[in-house]
Amino acid sequence: MSNSQAYDEVTVTADGVTVTKRFEADEFPVPAIAFNLTSRRSVPVTVRLVDTVPEDVAVEDLGFHPEYGSEYWDINENRIAFEKELEPEADYTTVYGIRATGTDDVEKFLTEPEIESVNPPLDEDEEDLVGGGDEAVRDVIAGDADSVPGLEDDDDEDIETLDLSDPNNPDSSVEAPEESNAAPADSEVQSGAVVATMAQEIRDQNVSPEDVKLLKRALDAVSEDDSDAGGVNDARIQRIQSDVADLRAYTDALEEFLEENGTGEDMIQEFGERLDSFEATLEDFEDEVQSATDAATSASDQVDDLSGDVESVEGQLDALEDDIEAVREEIDDGELADRINETESEIEELKQWREQLSSVIGGGE
């Protein structure tokens, strides 16, 4: 979502490192808070930058871009920290994206970050060449200041200046006016006069080598800033081209997928049919499970009945074993043999009585 409203940048400086924090609505794929770290140190330094997340914003709603140093960020509750080593005279940009809802109140994100540490810290020898010097020269060149500290002219000395109307003729010059009641000139004329003054001071060797080095560094930085605009545009174009290529690849893959699987409605209908079939199969399976449960219950009842029958048979077997044991004891005692002999004698007597009875009955006839 485009946000055309401009917001002030927030800048902090420590130990030769400057951090500029700003809101970018369109430069990145999503609205983002960008941090531009600039080192004016002559040695590599490790910078730790700490920023505070607004209280009503969850850190989970922040997104760190892998192409802009996401691996250097660390999250701790409502504070986020960025730590990275910067090469000498290096610039580095890192960002974190915010949800679209966060753009309703961008100001709450533009709090002042804290440069927690710069290792190694700035020593006294470097402090003369780093710090506010570069910014002062930049301000003069940009027209935001009238002079560079340390290069003010003496009141009683006339300085010959270059005629900027013909930059190819170094001999043409004009003297600075002593008094003027005209309206103040615009910043371009003022900065031109200041540049001419600095050039003359350098020619007259009234400037220390350290100041010349500082001026050269500032001019190089301004030149780099002018060339960075084209590089940023080229990077944006390359990123857009890459995004378009990715979108085309995604579109081709999506079209191929739709050709093979149909539209979303077709897939939903097919899934619904599969779901109905699965539910029918599940109902049949539940019926089979219920039948198996009933059969298992019936079998359990039968097992209980059989257990009762087995116990009854076991009782009868115990009684039969007792009877057999009693018979065995009688056999061992000879009582059975006596009974048999007795029975045989009785049978014999019955036979004789029958014969007698038969003879009596037969003789009477």
67 and 165 co-located in one domain: no
- Sign of the four-CA dihedral 88, 93, 96, 101: positive
165 and 92 co-located in one domain: no
Q: What is the pLDDT of residue 4?
A: 47
Contact 141, 215 (CB under 8 A): no
pTM for the full model? 0.39
Alpha-carbon distance 76 to 55, whole Å?
13
Looking at every residue in the chain, the average pLDDT score rounds to 76
113 and 21 co-located in one domain: yes
16 and 52 co-located in one domain: yes
Look at residue 357 and tell me if it is in a domain.
Answer: no
pLDDT at 163 over 50: no
275 and 216 co-located in one domain: no
**Is residue 40 very low, low, confident or very high in pLDDT (cuts 50, 70, 90)?**
very high
**Is residue 18 very low, low, confident or very high in pLDDT (cuts 50, 70, 90)?**
very high
- Please tell me the total count of domains within the chain: 3
Q: What's the token pair of residue 55?
A: 């209280």
Q: What is the pLDDT of residue 11?
A: 95
Residue at token pair 């191929």? 256
Sheet (strand 79-86) strand order:
73-76, 79-86, 45-52, 114-119
Contact 19, 93 (CB under 8 A): no
Q: At what angle do helices 132-142 and 209-261 cross, to 10 degrees?
A: 80
Q: What is the pLDDT of residue 143?
A: 52
Q: Helix, strand, or coil here: 176?
A: coil
154 and 224 co-located in one domain: yes
The more confidently predicted of residues 297 and 171 is 297
CA 258 to centroid of chain Cα atoms: 30
In the beta sheet, which residues pair with residue 75? Answer: 80
Residue 23's φ and ψ, nearest 5 degrees, are -100, 130
Q: Helix, strand, or coil here: 84?
A: strand
Q: What is the pLDDT of residue 71?
A: 93
- Sign of the four-CA dihedral 6, 37, 89, 130: positive
pLDDT at 50 over 90: yes
Contact 53, 154 (CB under 8 A): no
**Is residue 254 very low, low, confident or very high in pLDDT (cuts 50, 70, 90)?**
confident
